[in-house]
């Protein structure tokens, strides 16, 4: 296992190998691959698992007890937490540390004042002769980051560590689809983002278009309403959130544009955007800080979750057409009518993200002319720079990514230089990325200009 996911497994093993019982909170967005990671971590260890439901405390105890009795435990119909914890650990195996996983634990904590104190007492005074590592897992990132500590109080000091599972990058997504061309891998990443829980629903023997038609557009496709579920499971007043997300997906990125389109007050929109940002569905984009601040756009919002962005850009505005679908031919016609015409512009940010990830890897391996310590994107009023990076000495590298254009031209290079002047940047090195090819003038310029590098799609 590689990349971020590998680092998170290393953190879990780090806490497991420490002496003594440990309590770890593991959390991340839905479809982030948390359950698979937990299975990978637990497969060679003494383990017990429970997935909490959103229900009353009494029902929770009953369901948990029923599951433990299926494993051979002797418990009353409505066991106590102490009885449940003891039944999940037993005496370990050959003195090894046991792992107890409680997934979606927020469903218990929200209903019970006894769960956390009983858990802490168990960690300190458990009957088991073996040590135990308890993993409390959750896909409610907003609750974990903003409400959990307030809810459990001083018991938070008992937590050994917090591990947040981040969205996977392009290169991990590309490894999931080895049969695809580089172009298809970018397109799949543009639609599904870095969520392994979504990747599994794309079939490698189908094209990206065929997967979209079969698994997203068709009413019985698993992914047909998954974006709506992501929003509705953790938020109330979904109609307001849907209106904001549709406006963002249609290109309204400023607070005032959202106000004019939705009719909601700016104060109300700000509150709802804050909630969406806590769930990592929306992000506020800050331009790389340069002296050319007067030329930057300020207060830009965009949908961070690629799959939510796809849904609200293409499906949500055309739900009447979607409701009429009956056959595969209609799905294909819908794709050609509503998705194909501007799918290139939709996928372009995913290509830019892949290019930035490529540069970050090259930087970590010290394979660039500088080792940058700061990086970002510059968002100008008349144009943008996809990558701005600087080292501690102030040397500057900038980059531009071209996904849609069949040929990246010398004029594109000149526009990038114009943006650099507006940003008041003096680039020492320039990297140009093209999904297709570069024109002859640009190629000749790169041959004689050692600070200009041309990177094709195959390099990724």
Task: Round to whole Å and give the CA distance between 311 and 33.
Answer: 20
Q: 293: buried, middle or exposed (CB in 10 Å: 19+, 13-18, 0-12)? A: exposed
Residues with Cβ within 8 Å of 61's Cβ and at least 6 positions away in sequence, in order, are 78, 79, 80, 81, 84
pLDDT on residue 129 = 59
**DSSP annotation of 217:** I
pLDDT on residue 1 = 38
Q: Is 15 in contact with 24 (CB distance < 8 Å)?
A: yes
Both structure tokens of 328 = 């595969």
pLDDT on residue 2 = 43
Three-state secondary structure call for residue 257: helix
- Tell me: the pLDDT tens digits for 206-215? 999 999 999 9
Both structure tokens of 125 = 């005074």
Task: Round to whole Å and give the CA distance between 339 and 190.
Answer: 13
Q: 408: buried, middle or exposed (CB in 10 Å: 19+, 13-18, 0-12)? A: buried
Residue of 316, 325, 334, 102 lying closest to 230 (CA atoms): 316
Q: Along the chain (460 residues), what's the average pLDDT of each consecutive run of 10 residues?
A: 67 93 95 93 93 97 96 94 87 72 97 95 72 95 93 95 95 95 97 96 95 92 92 90 97 96 97 95 94 89 97 95 73 93 96 97 97 96 96 97 96 97 97 97 96 93
Neighbours of 158 (CB within 10 A): 16
**Domains of the chain and any CATH numbers:** 3-165 (3.40.50.300), 171-346 (1.10.10.10), 347-459 (3.40.1350.10)
User: In the block, which residue shows the tokens 């799949």?
Assistant: 188
Both structure tokens of 387 = 């990558």
pTM for this entry: 0.91
pLDDT on residue 323 = 79
Both structure tokens of 237 = 């007043």
């Amino acid at each position: 296992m590689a990349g971020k996911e590998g680092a998170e497994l290393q953190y879990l093993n780090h806490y497991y190998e420490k002496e003594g019982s440990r309590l770890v909170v593991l959390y991340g967005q839905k479809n982030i691959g948390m359950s698979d990671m937990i299975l990978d971590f637990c497969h060679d260890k003494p383990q017990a698992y429970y997935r909490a439901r959103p229900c009353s405390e009494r029902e929770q105890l009953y369901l948990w007890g029923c599951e433990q009795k299926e494993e051979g435990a002797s418990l009353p119909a409505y066991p106590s937490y102490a009885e449940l914890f003891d039944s999940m650990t037993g005496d370990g195996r050959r003195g090894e540390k046991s792992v107890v996983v409680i997934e979606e634990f927020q469903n218990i904590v929200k209903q019970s004042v006894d769960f956390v104190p009983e858990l802490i007492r168990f960690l300190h005074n458990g009957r088991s002769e073996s040590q135990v590592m308890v993993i409390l897992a959750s896909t409610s990132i907003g609750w974990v980051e903003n409400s959990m500590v307030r809810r459990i109080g001083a018991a938070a000091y008992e937590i050994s560590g917090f591990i947040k599972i981040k969205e996977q990058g392009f290169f991990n997504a590309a490894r999931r689809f080895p049969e695809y061309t580089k172009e298809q891998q970018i397109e799949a990443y543009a639609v599904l983002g870095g969520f392994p829980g979504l990747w599994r629903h794309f079939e490698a023997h189908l094209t990206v278009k065929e997967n979209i038609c079969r698994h997203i557009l068709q009413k019985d496709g698993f992914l047909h309403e998954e974006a709506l579920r992501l929003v509705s499971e953790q938020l109330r007043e979904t109609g307001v959130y849907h209106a904001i997300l549709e406006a963002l997906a249609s290109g309204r990125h400023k607070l005032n544009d959202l106000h004019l389109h939705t009719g909601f007050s700016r104060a109300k929109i700000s509150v709802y955007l804050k909630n969406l940002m806590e769930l990592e569905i929306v992000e506020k984009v800050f331009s790389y800080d340069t002296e050319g601040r007067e030329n930057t756009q300020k207060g830009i919002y965009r949908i961070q979750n690629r799959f939510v962005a796809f849904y609200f850009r293409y499906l949500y505005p055309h739900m009447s057409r979607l409701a009429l679908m009956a056959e595969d031919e209609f799905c294909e016609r819908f794709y050609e009518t509503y998705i194909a015409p501007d799918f290139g512009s939709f996928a372009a940010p995913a290509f830019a993200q892949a290019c930035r990830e490529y540069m970050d890897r090259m930087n970590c391996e010290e394979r660039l002319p500088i080792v940058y310590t700061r990086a970002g994107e510059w968002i100008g009023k008349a144009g943008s720079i996809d990558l701005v990076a600087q080292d501690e000495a102030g040397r500057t590298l900038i980059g531009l990514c071209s996904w849609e254009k069949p040929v990246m031209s010398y004029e594109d290079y000149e526009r990038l230089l114009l943006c650099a002047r507006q940003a008041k940047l003096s680039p020492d090195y320039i990297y140009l990325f093209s999904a297709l090819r570069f024109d002859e003038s640009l190629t000749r310029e790169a041959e004689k200009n050692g600070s200009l590098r041309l990177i094709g799609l195959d390099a990724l």
